[in-house]
Amino acid sequence: MVENDTDMFNMVPFPTMPAIPDLTASTLRKAGLGAYFRPSDLEPLGITEPRLRTLVRRGTVEKVAHGLYRLTVADGSELDAVAATCARLPNGILCLLTALQIHHIGTRLSPEVWIGIPYGRRAPRATVARLRVVRFSDEMMTTGVSAIRIDGVPARITNPARTIIDCLRLPDLVDRETALEATREGLRNRHVSTSGLLRMARACNAPDGVRRDLEVLNA
């Protein structure tokens, strides 16, 4: 389940958690913890490493990889691997085929989670999901990027217009048929507008061929 959360960085601080006997997976979820989390995500809840180890022993949470945990009350969803990836890589951005899937644009599904990271950053090691790592400039790590939540996990994702433009301007990563299908469906279902796509193409410094494609599709 995807939850819009445009003000996630201005949230009211979490309340102090009760004594350990009262902590359950449901309590933690209601306090705002996502289905997957890192130990540092527990700091606003006042939960220390020793308390986390106690929660693991009691079966309240489970360790799924180094530095990554899961609430046992969380039901797996179709975006389970995406949520786990976002918890593991909070500074990455969901992009391209994964972003298309989340925005419900086009029919192309990918067994990998497509995640964008800055140039010069070491590629993360896959743990709970197969990753397709894409490198972007610092500017492209923020242009057309929105904040959301996936199964309660804070995440960042390229918005529909940025996602479509990326598909069109990166033919080495996304085949032309997939990119054009996404563009047509995005326009048909009003996820995007031609003017919005043209603005995003300029913001992304897309090649002239991308703008010509948009003009042809809108003819």
pTM higher than 0.75 for the full model? yes
Q: Residue 155 in contact with residue 98, Cβ under 8 Å? A: no
Domain boundaries along the sequence of the chain: 12-71, 80-217
The pLDDT tens digits for 186-211 are 999 999 999 999 999 999 999 999 99
Identify which has the larger pLDDT, 184 or 5: 184
Whole-number pLDDT of residue 16? 52
Residue 185 has pLDDT above 90, yes or no: yes
CB 120: neighbour CB atoms within 10 A? 7
As to burial, measured by CB atoms within 10 angstroms (0-12 exposed, 13-18 middle, 19+ buried), residue 99 is buried
